[in-house]
Amino acid sequence: MGKLTEGDIQARANGQSYDRGRRYYENGYVLEATRRGNVVTAEVEGSQYEPYQVEVILKEDGGIARAYCD
């Protein structure tokens, strides 16, 4: 599996989710993001007091198999 680009994310996320995620990233709310194989995880500072975890599991073709926010 190759490098995950912004274009890849935009192509696979719905417009509203992509726009919100981009704003969070640009405003510094994505505190840490890592990719290990087909799993992307991030810690995000949202409107809640505590940051929350985001996990995206990618299919072999790069599509999104599952996405979680906790």
pLDDT, residue 17, reads 87
pLDDT, residue 2, reads 64
- A 10 A CB-CB count for 20 gives 13
pLDDT, residue 44, reads 95
Q: What is the pLDDT of residues 6-64, one digit of tens each?
A: 888 888 888 898 899 899 999 999 998 999 998 999 999 988 889 999 999 988 887 78
Structure tokens at 33: 């993001």
H or E segment to which residue 13 belongs:
none
pLDDT, residue 41, reads 94
Contact assessment for residue 45 and residue 33, using Cβ atoms and an 8 Å cutoff: no
Q: What is the pTM of this model?
A: 0.76
pLDDT, residue 47, reads 81
